[in-house]
Amino acid sequence: MSRIGNNPIAIPEGVTVTVSGQEVTVKGKLGELTQEFDAVSIVVEEGQVLVTRPSDAKDHRAKHGLYRALINNMVKGVSTGWTKQLELVGVGYRASNQGNKLDLAVGFSHNIVLDVAPEVTVETISEKGKNPIVKLTSHDKQLVGQVAAKIRSFRKPEPYKGKGIKFVGEIIRRKAGKSA
């Protein structure tokens, strides 16, 4: 029994969900997302989406909760959107952006310039006395996570001083270092 898969997905005001063949499309005020599916059946009725599986085969059980979660993320994305924030921890670490071009200075001999996907909105926040923050916003949860992971991979946080690019709220396991 999939506890996640059995929960119905409530469709908020202004969002439409259509199923055609093996593809589900979700439209809302922030955009449109599509997802192909198999091994489950998706029914839209009375302002909610129901995902059911034909049998208790291992493949069907696995995909039941998966597609329910993906469709739920799509519905939330087109109605409210998804946001990830990254914090640059280190002396001299800076971030700036012009449109969707992100410019990072994270301790290398050169700045890293990243062209972010057009569906993702980039915003940099730099306040005096605080670490710079890069804010990513989009209707596609998967794309926001992928871009955030790419930015984090340029300089992962290290365990001794905690320097690097980390998610806001992420806890880094610290090591004591050399004892004299």
CATH of the domain at 28: 3.90.930.12
Q: Is the model's pLDDT at 80 over the cut of 90?
A: yes
Query: Are 120 and 137 within 8 A, CB to CB?
Result: yes
pLDDT (average), residues 103-130: 93
Q: Is the model's pLDDT at 1 over the cut of 60?
A: no
SS (H, E, C) 115-148: ECCCCCEEEEECCCCCCCEEEEEECCHHHHHHHH
Query: Could you tell me if residue 101 is inside a domain?
Result: yes
CA–CA gap between residue 22 and residue 58 (Å, rounded): 20
Q: Is the model's pLDDT at 11 over the cut of 80?
A: yes
pLDDT (average), residues 24-36: 93
pLDDT (average), residues 118-146: 94
Domain that holds residue 33: 3-79
Query: Are 96 and 103 within 8 A, CB to CB?
Result: yes
Three-state DSSP at 149 gives: helix
The string over 9-27, giving b where at least 16 C-beta atoms fall within 10 Å of a residue's C-beta and e elsewhere, is bebeeebebeeeeeebebb
Query: Could you tell me if residue 125 is inside a domain?
Result: yes
For residue 159, give the nearest of 148, 168, 169, 172 by alpha carbon.
172
Residue that is last in its domain, among 41, 60, 79: 79
Query: Could you tell me if residue 177 is inside a domain?
Result: no
How confident is residue 30, by pLDDT bands cut at 50, 70 and 90? very high
**In terms of domains, do 120 and 87 share one?**
yes
- Residue 2 is predicted with a pLDDT of 64
Share of the chain above pLDDT 90, in %: 77
**In terms of domains, do 73 and 87 share one?**
no
- Alpha helix ranges (H) inside the chain: 3-6, 58-79, 141-153
| Two structure tokens written together for 50 | 């129901």
CA–CA gap between residue 94 and residue 171 (Å, rounded): 21
**In terms of domains, do 10 and 58 share one?**
yes
- Residue 180 is predicted with a pLDDT of 65
CA–CA gap between residue 97 and residue 93 (Å, rounded): 14
- Residue 177 is predicted with a pLDDT of 85
